[in-house]
């Protein structure tokens, strides 16, 4: 049976943002023009800082992991062997080197290491002017990339208390105010309160058994609440029977694969779906007649799922194998961990963020970045007008609409998904206007994040990323693994529905829109988004026919309405597959 994969939600290895455009190239032996001064000498800190600045500016070398690690190690050596401000600079620039690396690697492990190095700097060198800088950068990483606003706020309050005259104090006060404003209503204030309990980790997933009967065990590092649900197979979508286990506040270990295929079990696949609020474990069950989900007292901090192709599980739930006619819900189960009152319906889906309500619209370019300027169009102006048009229509449909920019404001490509992540948007839609040196090239294109498979997709990505085609080629090599853990399948499904919606609307309105299909490319503006994300190229301003259509109010309205058709179709598909 073919498995419908639209809803694969993969752990956010790419959670975070890329501040620099340079790709992270494969490691090669570090080469320096001369040996660094001996650690502890006065010039060694100056040399370290200069080489840091030079590497950060050098686009051809700043993507090399080995060079950043080399700088970090030299900074740590200086911290150990140096004295006074020299040692403080070594500690601080070791942390800076790891932070710069993390902004290119997207790896949470690099970000956590940078946080640890900044913490070490602030602790060991509290009297140095670099201590408040280390506290501020540590707080920024915790807020922007590691989703720990309470910890970030505590650090900012420490900075303001200990270093009220520091250069970073005004920025810290402003950021602290933003964090308090964004704190959920009813949440404990940051100051003078105990930090929230750390999230749980799903440490391991084990399985045992055979084709007729098996057991899946989820190992956590603490007691967890959970709710489970059985969804019958759906013949219309060829979706197999599934068992969903929702675990709020728990997140998978970095070592866990997002998709596991256990051999010779009634469960054909185990998948992990992660949002900012918790994890859903999805089991594809072929031929299961009975199952049980338990938290055994003899095995604390585990959730155990037993499955069988016979109705022979003591205390288990018997299920029918007949397909659900509409993909509706099957059997729901209680929560564990001492919670007796499970949310009714699919309330946990809302808690886990598996819904479509809040949409972030990104008007491409802006401010000092005009985008494409051809055919009488300025892309930054066109995209803002289109974003406002789309937003008004979405609000009329009952959606909550947010904008990355509401005016002619410059944002980096990495700021945009960061805003969507912080606001916990359900979808990210980036609006653009295309251009090509060949005036005959025209048509509608919708993109999602993946490797570019055509020459034209590579050219479009290079233009939108403001890098060379060579940079895109290098980027694709190192993105091949990272893209696997983005919301690729969901984004692709959304792109297909949006593309079809726009094409149908504009053609029904009498326009001969050329169909360039749904394409994939490594767009920086989509990287790091923790929700399905697409980029819509509304047409080629460099083409005479497209430019004529793009000046038409009827055409633009049809495009916006078609885009909404795609979004509502995606929401409906999500509802069918989850039984909402």
Q: What is the pLDDT of residues 214-248, one digit of tens each?
A: 899 999 988 888 888 888 876 654 567 888 888 88
DSSP assignment of 259-326 equals EE--TTSSEEEEEEEEETTEEEEEEEESS--EEEEE--TTSTTEEEEEEESSS--TT-EE---SPPTT
3 band by pLDDT with thresholds 50, 70 and 90: very low
Quote the pLDDT of residue 324.
42
* Inside any domain, residue 7: no
Structural domain span for residue 87: 42-182
Looking at residue 96, its pLDDT comes to 94
Point out the least confidently predicted range of 4-8, 152-156, 283-287, 346-350. Answer: 4-8
Please write the tens of the pLDDT for every residue from 524-544. 677 777 788 899 999 999 999
pLDDT at 430 over 90: yes
**401 shares its domain with 534:** yes
Query: What is the pLDDT, as a whole number, of residue 170?
Result: 92
Instruction: State the CATH number of the domain containing residue 540.
Output: 3.40.630.40
Of 99, 22, 89, 114, the C-alpha closest to 62 is 22
The reply to whether 471 and 502 lie within a common domain is: yes
pLDDT-above-70 percentage for the chain:
72
In this prediction, residue 159 carries a pLDDT of: 92
Say whether pLDDT at 350 is over 60.
no
Helix, strand, coil percent values for the chain (each to nearest 5)? 40, 20, 40
**Confidence (pLDDT) at 352:** 40
Q: Report whether pLDDT(298) > 90.
A: no
Residue 364 and residue 340 share a domain = no
445 in the same domain as 574 = yes
Say yes or no: 373 and 503 in one domain.
yes
pLDDT band at 5 (very low <50, low <70, confident <90, very high): very low
Q: Does residue 24 lie within any of the structural domains? A: no
- In the prediction, which pLDDT does 531 show? 84
Looking at every residue in the chain, the average pLDDT score rounds to 75
**Which domain-ending residue is among 182, 210, 240?**
182
70 and 142 co-located in one domain: yes
Residue 235 lies in a domain: yes
Mean pLDDT, range 480-488, rounded to an integer? 46
Instruction: Give the residue carrying structure tokens 């192709």.
Output: 309
Same domain, 460 and 424: yes
Place of tokens 């961990």: 337
Q: How is residue 399 written in tokens?
A: 């959606």
Is pLDDT at 26 greater than 60 in this prediction? no
Of the candidates 312, 344, 376, which is a domain's last residue?
Answer: 344
- pLDDT grade for 89, boundaries at 50, 70 and 90: very high
Pair 308, 448 in one domain: no
Angstrom CA distances, 327 to 227, 230, 237, stand at 19, 11, 8
Give the per-residue pLDDT at 239. Answer: 67
* pLDDT (0 to 100) of residue 414: 76
Q: Considering only residues 399 and 317, tell me which one the structure prediction assigns the higher pLDDT.
A: 399
Is residue 409 a part of any domain in this protein?
Answer: yes
Confidence band of 317 (pLDDT split at 50, 70, 90): confident
pLDDT computed for residue 235 by the predictor: 60
110 pLDDT higher than 50? yes
Burial class (CB in 10 A: 0-12, 13-18, 19+), 311: exposed
Q: Is the pLDDT of residue 27 over 80?
A: no
| 403 contacts 391 by C-beta, under 8 angstroms | yes
Q: Taking 70 as the threshold, does the pLDDT of residue 471 lie above it?
A: no
* pLDDT tens by residue, 251-280: 888 677 777 778 778 888 888 876 666 788
Question: Is the pLDDT at 61 greater than 70, yes or no?
Answer: yes
Task: Sort strands 241-248 and 358-363 into parallel, antiparallel or unpaired.
Answer: unpaired
What span, in angstroms and rounded, lies between the C-alpha atoms of 578 and 580? 6
Q: Are residues 210 and 161 in the same domain?
A: no
Predicted pLDDT at 457: 45
- Domain presence at residue 6: no
Examine the fold and report which residue of 311, 344, 377 is the final residue of a domain before the chain moves on.
Answer: 344
Two tokens at 251?
């997140």
Average pLDDT over residues 72-77: 90
Whether 195 maps to a domain, the answer reads: no
In terms of pLDDT, which residue wins out, 314 or 18? 314
Cα separation of 214 and 208, whole Å?
6
Three-state SS at 534: strand
Are 344 and 579 in contact, with CB atoms under 8 Å apart?
no
3-class secondary-structure state, position 526: helix
Q: What integer pLDDT is reported at residue 362 of this predicted model?
A: 94
Give the mean model confidence (pLDDT) for residues 12-32.
34
Most confidently modeled range among 82-96, 100-114, 192-206, 461-475: 82-96
Give the range among 281-290, 328-337, 474-483, 499-508 with minimum mean pLDDT.
474-483
Predicted confidence band of residue 576 (pLDDT cuts 50, 70, 90): low
pLDDT at 187: 40
In a domain, 87, yes or no: yes
Measuring CA to CA, which residue among 79, 147, 80 is closest to residue 112? 147
User: Minimum mean pLDDT among 10-24, 75-89, 342-356: which range?
Assistant: 10-24
User: CATH number, domain at 68?
Assistant: 1.25.40.10
- Residue 238 · residue 1 · CB < 8 Å: yes
Between 53 and 468, name the one with better pLDDT: 53
pLDDT higher for 110 or 306? 306
**How much is the average pLDDT of 345-362?**
64
Question: Across 192-206, 307-321, 380-394, 562-576, which has the greatest mean pLDDT?
Answer: 380-394
User: What is the average per-residue pLDDT within 454-472?
Assistant: 44
- State how far the Cα of 522 lies from the Cα of 507, in Å rounded to an integer: 29
Of the pLDDT bands very low, low, confident and very high (cuts 50, 70, 90), residue 339 is very low
- How many domains, in total, are found in the chain? 3
Please check whether residues 437 and 571 belong to one and the same domain.
Answer: yes
DSSP string across 15-38: -S---S----BPP-----SSPPPP
Instruction: Kindly calculate the radius of gyration of the chain based on its CA atoms and give it in whole angstroms.
Output: 26
pLDDT for residue 428 is more than 90: yes
Record the pTM.
0.45
Task: Report the CATH number that the domain containing residue 292 is assigned in CATH.
Answer: 2.60.40.3500
Q: What are phi and psi of 70, to 5 degrees?
A: -60, -45
* Pairwise CA distance, residues 537 & 548, whole Å: 16
Residue 91, token pair as written in the block: 């500690």
- pLDDT for res 412: 83
Whether residues 178 and 300 fall in one domain: no
494 in the same domain as 549: yes
Residue 530 lies in a domain: yes
C-beta separation of 450 from 476 below 8 A: no
> What confidence tier does 513 reach under pLDDT thresholds 50, 70, 90?
confident
The alpha carbon of 459 is separated from its chain's Cα centroid by a whole number of angstroms, namely 24
pLDDT digits (tens, 9 = 90+) for 146-205: 677 888 888 899 899 899 999 999 999 988 888 777 655 444 333 333 333 457 888 889
């Amino acid at each position: 049976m073919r498995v419908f994969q639209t809803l694969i939600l993969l752990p956010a290895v790419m959670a975070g943002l890329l501040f620099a455009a340079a790709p992270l190239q494969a490691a090669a032996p570090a080469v320096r023009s001369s040996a660094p001064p001996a650690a502890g000498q006065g010039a060694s800190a100056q040399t370290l800082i200069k080489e840091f600045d030079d590497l950060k500016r050098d686009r051809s070398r700043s993507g090399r992991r080995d060079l950043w690690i080399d700088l970090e190690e030299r900074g740590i050596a200086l911290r150990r062997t140096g004295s006074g401000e020299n040692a403080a600079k070594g500690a601080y620039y070791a942390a800076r080197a790891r932070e710069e690396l993390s902004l290119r690697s997207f790896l949470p492990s690099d970000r956590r290491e940078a946080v640890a190095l900044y913490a070490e700097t602030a602790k060991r060198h509290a009297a140095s002017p670099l201590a408040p800088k280390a506290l501020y950068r540590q707080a920024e990483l915790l807020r922007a990339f590691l989703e720990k606003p309470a910890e970030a706020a505590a650090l900012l309050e420490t900075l303001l208390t200990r270093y009220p005259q520091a250069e970073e104090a005004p920025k810290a006060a402003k950021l602290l105010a933003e964090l308090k404003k964004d704190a959920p209503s009813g949440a404990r204030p940051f100051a003078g309160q105990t930090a929230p309990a750390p999230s749980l980790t799903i440490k391991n997933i084990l399985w045992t058994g055979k084709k007729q009967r098996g057991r899946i065990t989820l190992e956590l590092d603490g007691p967890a609440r959970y709710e489970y649900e059985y969804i019958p197979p759906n013949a219309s979508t060829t979706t197999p029977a599934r068992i969903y286990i929702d675990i709020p506040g728990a997140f998978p270990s970095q070592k866990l694969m997002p998709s596991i295929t256990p051999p010779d079990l009634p469960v054909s696949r185990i998948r992990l779906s992660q949002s900012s609020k918790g994890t859903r474990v999805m089991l594809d069950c072929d031929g299961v007649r009975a199952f049980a989900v338990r938290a055994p007292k003899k095995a604390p901090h585990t959730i155990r799922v037993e499955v069988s192709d016979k109705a022979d599980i003591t205390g288990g739930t018997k299920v029918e194998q007949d397909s659900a006619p509409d993909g509706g819900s099957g059997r729901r189960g209680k929560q564990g961990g001492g919670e007796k009152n499970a949310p009714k319906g699919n309330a946990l889906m809302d808690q886990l963020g598996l819904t479509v309500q809040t949409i972030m619209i990104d008007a491409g370019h802006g401010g000092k970045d005009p985008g494409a300027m051809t055919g009488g169009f300025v892309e930054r102006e066109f995209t803002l007008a289109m974003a406002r048009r789309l937003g008004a229509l979405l609000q009329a449909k009952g959606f909550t609409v947010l904008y990355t920019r509401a005016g002619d404001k410059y944002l980096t490509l990495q700021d945009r998904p960061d805003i969507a992540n912080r606001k916990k948007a359900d979808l990210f839609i980036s609006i653009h206007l295309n251009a090509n040196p060949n005036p005959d090239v025209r048509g509608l294109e919708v993109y999602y994040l993946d490797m570019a498979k055509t020459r034209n997709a590579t050219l479009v990505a290079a233009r939108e990323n403001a890098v060379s085609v060579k940079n895109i080629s290098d980027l694709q090599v190192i993105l091949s693994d990272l893209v696997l853990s983005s919301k690729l399948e969901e984004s692709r499904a959304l792109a297909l529905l949006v593309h079809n919606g726009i094409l149908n609307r504009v053609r029904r309105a009498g326009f001969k829109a050329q169909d360039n299909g749904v394409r994939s490319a490594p767009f920086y503006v989509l990287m790091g988004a923790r929700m399905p994300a697409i980029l819509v190229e509304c047409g080629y301003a460099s083409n005479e026919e497209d430019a004529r259509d793009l000046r038409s109010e009827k055409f633009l309205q049809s495009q916006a309405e078609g885009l909404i058709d795609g979004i509502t179709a995606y929401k409906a598909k999500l509802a069918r597959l989850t039984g909402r």
